[in-house]
Amino acid sequence: MTDTTQQVAGATLAPVWLPPAGDPNELVPAMWAHDVERGGHGELTVSGVPVSELRAQFGTPLFVMSEDDFRARARMFKDAFDNAFADICGGVDVYYAGKAFLCTEVARWVDSEGLRLDTCSGGELAVAKRAGLLGENLGLHGNNKSDAEINRALDMNLGRIVVDSLHELKRVAALATARNATANVMLRVTPGVHAHTHESIATAHEDQKFGLSLLSEDPDAPGMAAAEAASQLAVEAESINFLGFHAHIGSQIFEAEGFGIAARKLLAFTHEIQTRHGITLPELDLGGGYGIAYTAVDTPRPAAEVAAAMADVVRETCAELGMACPRISIEPGRAIVGSTTFTLYETGTLKTVQVEVDGQPDVTAPRRYVSVDGGMSDNARPVLYEADYSAVVANRASAAAPALSRVVGKHCESGDIVVRDVYLPNDVAAGDLLAVPGTGAYCWALASNYNYVPRPPVVALKNGAARLIVRGETEDDLLARDLGA
């Protein structure tokens, strides 16, 4: 800034995507669990329980999850896809993607709502086992599974191991042969669809680590695309029960188009392999990735609409190819758990800075920094993916004017941002409660102990009652693995 800088009325640091400041007390329904509302004095309640009670009982930061909302979204996905695909393949198997959020309780909710569980590590399988889920209702993913993980999947007689490479297929076949067992296998392929989402969560284009290419050769099987070579081995290996193909094109996707293109390519490839080997592959997994609302500008399409659009493509493609449709499965994670949860923080240090406005030399505008008692250790997504979130003051409604604010954490990084741009009432004070919605997926799951900060608890709300489903970490937990005297 120079001596000539000045504040100009209307100048703002707000990014172009952020809608103009409205009522900062408003709860945009798409971003919240259906049982979150403002009660007396405008205080947020979940299933009728005020956030001040949750703070008193469980402290902050706190992941606040609505069990009713989770179950409702799980049923909604299952019903939407079952209805859309009923005439094509008799319905759809919905595998909840546990990587989004998993604990024993949630695994049981998933099971009791008639969904199955998609895991991607031995640890997630351990949770499923503790929850008492049947192996036949579980899938295992991973681009680099260990022998221990594959053996655990075989011990539990998993419904499907989704194999990621020719090398891995050979290992699965050998481990199954060694115990005289059969492994139920799907092959993950990359249909070349580049989902329009953040690079780190687009997973089906050629140039990334997951899956078997439909185009490139595997060095161990020259002369064939990797997916063709793996298919041949899956057909020939006696210890492999080859179920079909899988693809996951990426995450936080709003349009059904990408899913449709992937479905077309997968069906065509299934048809080609069936014809070549004279087999019928009974299943086809179209992955997850359905987007949710993190801010007011995110407008996800209802599950029923996406399901209907995908079913149209599948119906049409199967008719064109003259093939019976395999049983379809999908793997939504964030679309089930994301909006069920908000993170409750307490505010602390506040400051306002004057910053030069982009493209307007010598003009400055204010930005308010609101520090909270968590941060990148309980929500890494803003740092990892530049993910945007929203926030509201939760312990009261405010009549104060909105101020462009940045919610930041307590960690020793200037990039420790929880909400980059949001309008909060300008009377936010230390000791207020702040709620950040849409933190059900990939927040607790990605949490760390950076700066020796304990990971927060998770509380589930149902029928007006709150109960801990994951306790918070203590300092003893933090020190438990440190072997120093």
Residues acting as catalytic residues: 412
For ligand PLP, the closer of residues 266 and 372 by Cβ is 266
Q: Which of 45, 66, 165, 251 binds ligand PLP (CB under 6 A)?
A: 251
- Contact between 381 and ligand PLP by CB under 6 A: the answer reads no
For ligand PLP, the closer of residues 162 and 392 by Cβ is 162
- Contact between 378 and ligand PLP by CB under 6 A: the answer reads no
For ligand PLP, the closer of residues 75 and 396 by Cβ is 75
- Contact between 254 and ligand PLP by CB under 6 A: the answer reads no
**CA angle 215–216–218, rounded 5-degree value:** 135
Contact range with ligand PLP by CB under 6 A, out of 23-31, 73-81, 325-333, 451-459: 325-333
> What sections of 145-253 are H helices per DSSP?
147-155, 166-178, 226-236
For ligand PLP, the closer of residues 100 and 183 by Cβ is 100
- Residue 325's alpha-carbon distances to 39, 278, 280, 311, 312, in angstroms, are 50, 16, 10, 11, 12
**CA angle 343–344–346, rounded 5-degree value:** 135
Beta carbon of residue 243, minimum distance to ligand PLP (angstroms, whole number): 15
Residue closest to ligand PLP, measured at CB: 333
- Residue 356's alpha-carbon distances to 14, 386, 403, 452, in angstroms, are 12, 22, 17, 35
For ligand PLP, the closer of residues 446 and 466 by Cβ is 446
Q: Which of 61, 288, 375, 456 binds ligand PLP (CB under 6 A)?
A: 288
User: What would the DSSP string read from start to end of 231-275?
Assistant: HHHHHH-TTEEEEEEE---BSSB--SHHHHHHHHHHHHHHHHHHH
- Contact between 61 and ligand PLP by CB under 6 A: the answer reads no
Q: How many CB atoms lie within 10 A of CB 13?
A: 18
x-marked contacts with ligand PLP along 139-168 as a string, rule CB under 6 A: --x---------------------------
Is 365:13 a contact under the CB 8 Å cutoff? yes
- Contact between 248 and ligand PLP by CB under 6 A: the answer reads yes
Q: Where are the beta strands (DSSP E) in 324-416?
A: 327-330, 341-356, 363-372, 392-393, 402-408
- Contact between 334 and ligand PLP by CB under 6 A: the answer reads yes
> What sections of 278-401 are H helices per DSSP?
303-321, 334-337, 381-385
- Contact between 290 and ligand PLP by CB under 6 A: the answer reads yes
- Contact between 307 and ligand PLP by CB under 6 A: the answer reads no
Q: Which of 204, 249, 335, 370 binds ligand PLP (CB under 6 A)?
A: 335
Provide CB contacts within 8 A for 439, sequence distance 6+. 63, 338, 341, 342, 343, 378, 379, 389
- Contact between 289 and ligand PLP by CB under 6 A: the answer reads yes
Mapped onto helix, strand or coil, the DSSP state of residue 156 is: coil
For ligand PLP, the closer of residues 36 and 202 by Cβ is 202
For the chain, the straight-line distance linking the first and the last C-alpha, in angstroms and rounded, comes to 51
**Footprint of ligand PLP on residues 83-102 (CB under 6 A)?**
97, 99-100
- Contact between 331 and ligand PLP by CB under 6 A: the answer reads yes
Binding stretches for ligand PLP (CB under 6 A)? 97, 99-100, 118, 141, 203, 248, 251, 287-290, 331-335, 441
